[in-house]
Chains A and B, each alone.
Chain A
Amino acid sequence: MTNPSCLELPARLNSVAFFEQIRKLCQNGYSPMTLFGSKNRQLFCLLHQGAELKLLNGDFPSTLSFPSLSPQFPSFQILERELYEEQGLVPIGHPWLKPVRHPRGDIYEGYEFFASQSSALHEVGVGPVHAGVIEPGHFRFTCRGEIVEYLEIQLGYQHRGIIRIFEQDDIRDKVSLAECIAGDTAIGHALAYCGIVEALTATPPLGVRIRIIALELERIAMHLAVLSALAGDVAYLLGQNLLAALRTEVINTTLSICGSRFGKRWLCPGGVNYGIPMALAQGIVSNLKKTQNRIRLSCEAMLSEPSVLSRFDDTGKVTAPIASEYGFTGIVAKAAGLKLDSRVDFPLYPQIDFIPCTECSGDVYARAQLRYLEIMQSFDILFMLLKEPLDTKPLSQKPKEIKPDSLAISIVEGYRGRILHLAKTAGDGSTEFYRIVDPSLVNWQALAIAVRGEGISDFPLCNKSFDLSYCGSDL
């Protein structure tokens, strides 16, 4: 399929056939990307196997319940919990139907955390307000001495009800909102959103190469932020400072083009707001070449430093079978050896011959090393794209009329992994639903699995190596 694009709405199945069909596809190697209900009581499920997409449409079960898929396919665990919370449909047999976002407020009311009666175990609760300058979330550890036996992650504190705002008014005017889904992925989400509008209005975008530059700059900057923080977590202070300063250079490059260090205001449906004049492009290339060299030196030094490796190696493991069973995406999956990258399966700019980087050990080291490899690869892409003039006018074209009764999907490989946006218009062109799936939503479970058996003091390190978004999953 071309990405983004409008999908043909499949024939609507009755609810039994709908879930049966999902089960069948999953037995044949498909994995779910999203599952949700719309306001007019229809179910939608999008699955994929590699680049092959399958969209299913079904009726709400009249009993408002259905047999849970999660026991057999754990990748549904959070999707079914979402469905339950949003639509009240009960997945019978779900192992643990705990809240996701508490849309009705009162985050603790009536909710029991997982607890053990054993006198050998104790609990440690952290958050929602954390010690550093980070987003809120609650972590509940069950420990045997220093060892974490079990971690329960309870999020929802960042729930802003974004979806509702997307569904109000004209869908073409929401780019600023898309940039604020997760500010660290402003480009990734804005790009996915722009794709939706362009598919729904049949407007081919201009400035595609500039968009790819924006996306790769964001990837480099955020991977550097993570690597810097990882260095800080193992008290490798020189690395922390070198890499933080290098990130500054990259985001200041973004600022020099569009005015924002996060690439906000850069993209718009139909193209981009800011081009890159040749003189600026040349300056950027020569600066970034120096930056790249310093990143290489700093990362090579850090990732071969024994005191760093002794903390990174074998810590916080997520193996390939676990990653594919749970449907993890992005860095988590690639670090475990899965070749999962939307830039291959759903390319936005197919002219780039792209081979995804992977690692195999699935530990903190693999995720750090992979980020470094991806940074270097993104630089190659940047230098290739920056060679040609990039400020041809016009930079964008106004999106045309919205097609009624259409369903669009748009996929972007953000720095964390696969970002999926999905929207459907009603007969009058208004937005029937808008869905956003940040890779963090599913990947939080990876963190919970990775820390089992680790020392609790390694938690910050594990957490940072995944670097998941709170607001991206609480929306």
Chain B
Amino acid sequence: MFELLKARILHGYQAIPDPLKAKINQAFPGVPRLSAGADLAALAKCCPVNAISDSGLDLGRCIFCGKCQRLDPEAVSFEADFRLAADSREKLIIRPGQQDYPETSIQTRLPRQFRRSFALRNVSAAGCNACELELGACSNVNFDMGRYGIEVVASPRHADALILTGPISQNMEAALYSTWDAIPGPRFLILSGACAISGGIFAESDKIRRSFASKLTVTLYIPGCPAHPLSIIHGLVTLMRGR
């Protein structure tokens, strides 16, 4: 009994006051910056997921392993900025010299009725479970995304959106389609984590089936490996209410 009281008192108030403006530890690799003269060919060679090409660094593929930055810290840096989400696949490509990310990364707005309430149904499809743990953490006392009216619901019948984690295995494909079909319209698709967006580290596997994610219209992409709870909350809230 006394232990519990003491634990409760020491616990204090844990919620992050404003997750949208939270300060994240400097060690966190968030929004990348490529220098204007970066040697993209050399960087491309070191990247384990082919995230770097002539056009720039693809946040939809990047697993934030830091290899490129360690190879050439002048050419690539990652700011401690968790505002990584975007509303189109093209916007996720960071060009050399580009400084304006994330200013215009999310311009889509959900219809008015979703401004204060947004129910998500997660389908976990063959990732590594870190994206699931981070999505779960969004509802804990620290991040508390319930304060924005966002909740994760059990039944797809109660959901407004499907938030997919994982690259989609052959064995999960049918269940994913059934869950999507069970969500009443209007419904939205959100991809969380490199796996869901591009197949991530598993993109080359012959056990992965990408048709679901490539055929349907995606409303929000949340990069990361895993996507950080603050990135998830920032993306969702911006989609709901604008910045």
Contact = CB atoms under 8 A, between A and B. Distances in A.
Interface of A: 101-103, 105, 107, 128-129, 131-136, 156-162, 164-165, 168, 173, 176-177, 179-184, 186, 225, 238, 241-242, 244-245, 248, 252, 255-262, 264-265, 273, 290, 293-294, 297-298, 300-301, 305, 469-471, 474
Contacts of B201: 176-177, 180
A397 B66 CA distance: 17
Nearest to A305: B4
6 contacts: A135-B129, A160-B169, A180-B63, A252-B25, A256-B27, A471-B127
A136 B124 CA distance: 6
Contacts of A105: 170-171
Interface in B130-177: 130-137, 140-142, 152, 154-155, 166-167, 169-172, 174-175
Contact of B129 (A258, A261, A470): A470
A262 B226 contact: yes
Given A133-B132, A245-B142, A262-B130, A160 B167 contact: yes
B101 interface: no
Nearest to A127: B175
Contacts of A131: 154-155
Nearest to A294: B10
B172 A136 contact: yes
A129 to B, nearest CB: 5
B64 A241 contact: no
Can you list the 9 inter-chain pairs with the closest CB atoms, starting with the nearest? A183-B130, A183-B128, A161-B207, A301-B4, A131-B154, A297-B7, A301-B3, A180-B128, A244-B140
A265 B65 contact: yes
A158 B140 contact: no
Contact of A248 (B8, B49, B137, B200): B137
Interface of B: 1, 3-4, 6-8, 10-11, 14, 25, 27-29, 48-49, 63-66, 70, 122-137, 140-142, 152, 154-155, 166-167, 169-172, 174-175, 178-179, 200-202, 204-208, 225-226, 228
A81 to B, nearest CB: 16
Given A182-B128, A265-B66, A300-B3, A157 B133 contact: no
B27 A258 contact: yes
Contacts of B128: 179-184, 186, 471
Contacts of B170: 105, 159
B171 A297 contact: no
Contacts of B14: 241, 245, 248
A159 B141 contact: no
Nearest to B10: A294
A378 to B, nearest CB: 19
Contacts of B172: 128, 136, 157-158
Contacts of B204: 165, 168
A274 B128 CA distance: 23
Given A107-B171, A133-B122, A183-B133, A255 B7 contact: no
B142 A173 contact: no
Contacts of A173: 48
A298 B126 CA distance: 34
A224 B14 CA distance: 16
A181 B126 CA distance: 10
Interface centre among B4, B29, B48 (most CB of A within 10 A): B4
A245 B11 contact: yes
Contacts of A182: 128-129
Given A176-B63, A259-B27, A297 B4 contact: yes
Nearest to B138: A133
A162 B206 CA distance: 10
Contacts of A469: 129
Contact of A184 (B4, B25, B133, B167): B133
Interface centre among B7, B29, B122 (most CB of A within 10 A): B7
A471 B66 contact: no
Given A107-B171, A157-B175, A297-B4, A164 B205 contact: yes
Nearest to A297: B7
Contacts of B28: 255, 259
A264 B171 contact: no
A136 B128 CA distance: 11
A26 B59 CA distance: 51
A156 B174 CA distance: 13
Given A133-B132, A259-B28, A259-B29, A273 B66 contact: yes
A301 to B, nearest CB: 4
B130 A255 contact: no
Contacts of B132: 133-135
Contacts of A101: 171
Contact of B6 (A238, A256, A297, A470): A297
A160 B127 CA distance: 8
B12 to A, nearest CB: 9
B7 A301 contact: yes
A225 B112 CA distance: 36
B66 A248 contact: no
Contacts of B6: 297
A293 to B, nearest CB: 8
Contact of B225 (A129, A135, A264): A264
A105 B127 CA distance: 17
B141 A244 contact: yes
